[in-house]
A = this chain, B = another copy of it.
Amino acid sequence: MERRERADAARNRQAILRAAEELLRGNPPEQVSVERVAAAAGVGKGTVFHRFGSRVGLMQELMAERARALEEEVRQGPPPLGPGAPPAERLVAFLDAALVMATRNAGLIAAHEHARLTNRNGSRLENPIYLFWHGHVSALIAEARPDVDAGLIAHVLLGTLHTEPISTLLRAGESPRVAAVLADLVHGLLRS
């Protein structure tokens, strides 16, 4: 049933992803157009759309690549990130990790947000990475405090990572401050 991706196609997919990465490292995200990515990858614009469907799809794929390791650690790594530790501890550990990730990929996140808003393209809830993160945070909160609105609180906590004045701080190296505040929030909430 499953036909494998052709060799040249796979090569181009990689070239495109690496070119996008490179451009996002050196330019403000709204200047990294699909056309520029294609040019930098030595590929036609049509190819990029063929492979990734849309600008959002391209950005999502990049995010997925980087999120995979963290997801693995959460699912089956050692505590406190992986299973085993008490939920409050796991939650703080996860938020810390997510924060590091958001800091390192601030440009990419901004570009993804930009792409999402520009067209009538989907809610954040259609991004599988966000869904996984939200599910995880949500479950940990519910485990510690079954009486609160865990899903909504998870949105608030995760929203922080995407919010503009805060992502600016992250890029400026202030992530410890943000981590401290998030930990405060979590402790304030989870203490019955």
Contacts and interface: CB of A to CB of B under 8 A. Distances in A.
A104 interface: no
Contact of A189 (B110, B125, B148, B188): B188
Contacts of A123: 164-165, 168
Contacts of A22: none
Interface residues of A, number: 40
A180 B152 CA distance: 10
A1 interface: no
A59 interface: no
Indicate how many identical chains form the complex. 2
Interface stretch (A37-45, A46-54, A73-81, A153-161): A153-161
Interface string A145-185: 00011001101100110111110110000000110111011
Nearest to A153: B181
16 contacts: A30-B119, A31-B120, A110-B117, A113-B117, A114-B118, A117-B117, A149-B180, A152-B166, A152-B169, A152-B181, A155-B165, A156-B160, A159-B159, A159-B163, A159-B165, A188-B188
B124 A152 contact: no
A119 B117 CA distance: 12
